[in-house]
Amino acid sequence: MGIPYVIVKGKACLGTVVHKKTTAVVTLQDVKNENQKELATLVSASKANFSDKYKEQRRQWGGGLRGNKSTQMLRKRAKAAGQNTSIANFNKL
């Protein structure tokens, strides 16, 4: 969609933007001409820190190593079948 967004740690931080104690969501609809430059820097920072990083994290899913339980289970099956039980073989996917 191309809509920039930012996830803020607390509702109090957003409340300072709208001069309230707390708020859950803030949307910017109209911006004064003198504030256009600040909004542009905010949008570019939000895209770099949130939108683009999400796409990178989605592509790098998983670590490629098995857990202790599944490693032990595969080692037990290999031992029963009479195969070589090497840790290096079982930790890989």
pLDDT of the residue at 47: 82
Residue 80 lies in a domain: yes
So what's the pLDDT on residue 93?
Answer: 44
Is the domain of 47 the same as that of 79? no
Q: From first to last of the 93 residues of the chain, give the pLDDT tens digit.
A: 577 777 788 888 888 888 899 988 888 888 899 989 988 898 888 888 777 777 666 666 666 778 889 888 888 888 888 877 665 565 554
**Does some domain include residue 6?**
no
Instruction: Determine the structural domain holding residue 42 and report its residue range.
Output: 11-59
Secondary structure string (H, E, C) spanning 52-64: HHHHHHHHCCCCC
Tokens of 34: 């003198």
How many domains is the chain built from? 2
Beta-carbon contacts of 5 under 8 Å, excluding residues fewer than 6 positions away, are 46, 50, 51
The whole-model pTM stands at 0.46
In the structure encoding, which two tokens stand for residue 21, read together? 């104690």
One-letter amino acid of 12:
A
Kindly state whether residue 5 falls inside one of the protein's structural domains: no
The burial of 88, by beta-carbon neighbours within 10 Å (0-12 exposed, 13-18 middle, 19 or more buried), is given as: exposed
| Residues 70, 46 share a domain | no
